[in-house]
Structure 1
Amino acid sequence: MYAISTHLVGQAVCDRIDERHKSILPPHVWGDGNPEGVNRRAAEELKRTARAAQKLGVSVVNGFTGSSIWPLLYSFPPVPDSMIDAGYREFADRWNPILDVFAECGVRFALEVHPTEIAFDIFTAERALAALGRREEFGFNFDPSHLHWQGVSSVEFIRSFPDRIYHVHIKDAIVTLNGRTGILGSHINFGDPRRGWDFRSPGRGGVDFEEIIRALNQIGYEGPLSVEWEDCGMDREHGAAEAAKFVKNLDFAPSRRQFDSAFAEEA
């Protein structure tokens, strides 16, 4: 076992809590539903997760952070910089005590960079690191599917954070804009063909996994390539088997020498 996950509880650490969260949280974290109480209990659960990971011999916990400022994504009504600054300070205030326990346990937290989180692209990922003083316990679970539909380069993300890629998801997505829907989803659920983008089984979307593997090799990533499978248009068992074969064929070890070096040795 290389990693464990705490996505759903992690979401409740920084989010502004509402009724939606009840459906994703265990009863002991939801409690009476008081928002600040949910935030605190979620934080304590994350600390327990770090201790559990240590006992399991697991070095990485993947998950979400939540975000108090995700609802401010669109700058209308106008969003002053002070509100965004306050959101990152709150993130640091809530997560530094959690990460102190991760440090004590010798475990790292890998945020899956994703819409609704404190980091959802390269700029916000950099800002999240800065808010935490770039402490080593905090890095990223790289998932190209969430970058692809936003128009963010997966390769640029890897190259921007070569020492912070703690885990990798192999997950694909496709953009199918046809002039009727927008990239924000149009309040249309996943799996509906009217959506402007959706997730696909690995290799069947628009993600350039060839260049991703090369970029991961260039930064010396040696962790797992973990399939996170999601495709509303495909049978799951078929998709799981297909995805396993895809990743096996996709992955390759990097070259340890330059092509022309053989000529120099012969000379």
Structure 2
Amino acid sequence: MSQIKGPAIFLAQFAQDEPPFNNLSNISQWAKDLGYIGVQLPGWDGRFIDLDKAAESKQYCDDLKGQCNGLEITEISTHLIGQLVATHPAYDILLDAFAPAAVHNNTKARTEWAVDQMIKAIKASRNLGLSALPTFSGALLWHTFYPFPQRPAGLVELGFNDLAKRWQPILNAAEENGVDLAYEIHPTEDLHDGVTFERFLAATGNHPRVHILYDPSHFVLQCLDYVGYIDCYHEHIKAFHVKDAEFNPSPRSGVYGGYQDWVDRPGRFRSLGDGQVDFKRVFSKLTQYGYSSWAVLEWECCLKDAEQGARESATFIQSMLIDTPKHAFDDFAGGAVDEQTNRRILGLE
């Protein structure tokens, strides 16, 4: 068994234009003072990383590491970029906010920009010595997730085949650079549970770089077995967002939320320890299967202040980390090990 690394923190939700949240040096010092030892960078935020430079220059990447006050860069997040690889026209206006103004109102140009940025993020990951790249899959089918009106035969297969086709050049670049794509399994993405992950994996021809970012909070909101998910897909889990959630259905509202704001929804994200995720089981199961990468806080809570959440979460994650055993607990009661003794125990001699 291997030990999980952490605690680390995803910087996206804390980024601001005011110190100490306005650049990598300042925010990493803030995180270090809270007890974090790693930072996950939002790849779209120029205050923390320039993907163009990082893709081309290892020296730039070394300098970037030097700005982190001794903290490690865990991964580059490309969620908002990956979202734009596959989009449905119904979401075009909303998704323009994820891209530069030069490609707004131009879906084709926006998608081409996203593919180019994903490949740069892969090269940047290689230059930083990172092995996994968290991202979103995007969605062509999400508007049909509820089967009414009835989905025509072949629609789902066509959607996943086209999704795989869009990701193929990115996945091939990932293979060339030795980087795994860790798709966050997330509602509004076509990869939002185990079945859809399997569909996509099959559509890519079981591409060796198709993997998972595991975040149990999204499974709580779907009423999905988030611990059993690790049993099923542990070989594919290459990144881990530590985020809490709760689901409290009422006579008035359930999984779909009634278009309510987060604070009023039955399913909502919470600060670590304030929700319903059994993190002791999650960390135990991941440790059991040898997950040895980072445990990264993704803080999203509609009730608690971000700085309080970050401060408490460093201690929370640290308390979940398991020092794996150097020897078996029952070694003291063991006898000599040799084949002759084993044969005698089995009555073979």
TM-score by shorter chain over 0.5: yes
Equivalent residue for 2:115?
43
Contact 2:175 2:209 in 1 (8 A): yes
Q: Which has the higher contact order (CA 8 A, sep 6+)?
A: 2
CA distance in 1, matches of 2:98, 2:331: 55
> Once the two structures are superposed, what CA deviation does each residue of 1:178-225 show, in whole Å capped at 9, x if it has no partner?
21112111111212xx31111001111011111111110111000010
Helix, strand or coil at the partner of 1:161: helix
Amino acid of the structure 2 residue aligned with 1:77: P
Select 1:223's aligned residue among 293, 301, 308: 293
Aligned residue identity for 1:22 = D
The answer to whether structure 1 residue 122 and structure 2 residue 194 are counterparts is yes
Partner of 1:248, secondary structure, is helix
Q: 52-61 or 166-175: which moved more?
A: 52-61
Q: Given the superposition, is the C-alpha separation of residues 153 and 254 from structure 1 closer, same or farther in structure 2, using an over 3 Å criterion?
A: farther
Q: Using the alignment, how far apart are the partners of 1:257 and 1:180 within structure 2?
A: 53
2:330 corresponding residue in structure 1:
260
Say whether 1:69 aligns with 2:138.
no
**What one-letter code is carried by the residue in structure 2 that aligns with 1:141?**
L
- What TM-score, normalized by structure 2, do the two folds share? 0.72
Mapped partners of 2:138, 2:168: distance in 1: 14
SS in 1 for 2:286: helix
In 2: Cα distance, 1:199 partner to 1:32 partner: 30
What is the rounded CA distance, in whole Å, between the counterparts of 2:203 and 2:169 in structure 1? 13
Aligned residues: 263
The CA deviation string for residues 36-68 of structure 1, in whole angstroms up to 9 with x for no partner, is: 332222112111111122122222111111010
For the pair 1:178 / 2:256, whether they are aligned, the reply is: no
**1:21 maps to what in 2?**
95
Q: Are residues 1:105 and 2:177 paired? A: yes
Match of 1:169 among 241, 262, 265: 241
After superposition, give the CA deviation of every residue in 1:75-104 in whole Å (9 maximum; x if it has no partner).
111013410000110111000111111111
Contact 1:113 1:146 (8 Å CA) reproduced: yes
Q: 1:48 to 1:237 in 2, by over 3 A?
A: same
Structure-2 separation of matches of 1:161 and 1:71: 26
Deviations 1:130-173, CA, capped at 9 Å, x for gaps: 11122221201100000111111111111111211101010000
Q: Distance in 2 between matches of 1:32 and 1:184?
A: 30
Q: CA offset at residue 265 of structure 1?
A: 3.8
Name the amino acid aligned to 1:47: I
Q: Structure 1, unaligned stretches of length 5 or more?
A: none
Contact 2:99/2:110 (<8 A) preserved: no
The one of 94, 118, 137 aligned to 2:209: 137
Aligned to 2:220: 148
Give yes or no for contact 1:202–1:243 (8 Å, CA) kept in 2.
yes
Change (3 A) 1:81 1:145: farther
Partner amino acid, structure 1, of 2:122: A
Separation in 1, partners of 2:335, 2:272: 41
Look up the match of 1:211. 281
Deviation at 1:257, TM superposition (A): 5.2
Letter in 1 for 2:93: E
* Counterparts in 2 of 1:261 and 1:126: CA distance versus 1, 3 Å: farther
In structure 2, how many angstroms separate the alpha carbons of the residues matched to 1:86 and 1:9? 23
Contact 1:6/1:46, CA 8 A, preserved across alignment: yes
For the 8 Å contact 2:242–2:297, the answer to whether it is kept is: yes
In the alignment, the residues of structure 1 paired with residue 241 and residue 234 of structure 2 have an alpha-carbon distance, to the nearest angstrom, of 16
CA RMSD in angstroms, aligned pairs only? 1.7
More moved, 34-43 vs 95-104:
34-43
Kept after mapping to 2: 8 A contact 1:145/1:173? yes
- Offset of residue 112 of structure 1: 0.6
* Partner residue, 2:84: 12
CA distance in 1, matches of 2:136, 2:126: 19
3-state SS of 2:277 partner? coil
SS at match of 1:97: helix
CA distance in 2, matches of 1:211, 1:27: 44
Contact 1:46 1:98 in 2 (8 A): yes
Partners of 1:180 and 1:129 in 2: how far apart?
Answer: 37
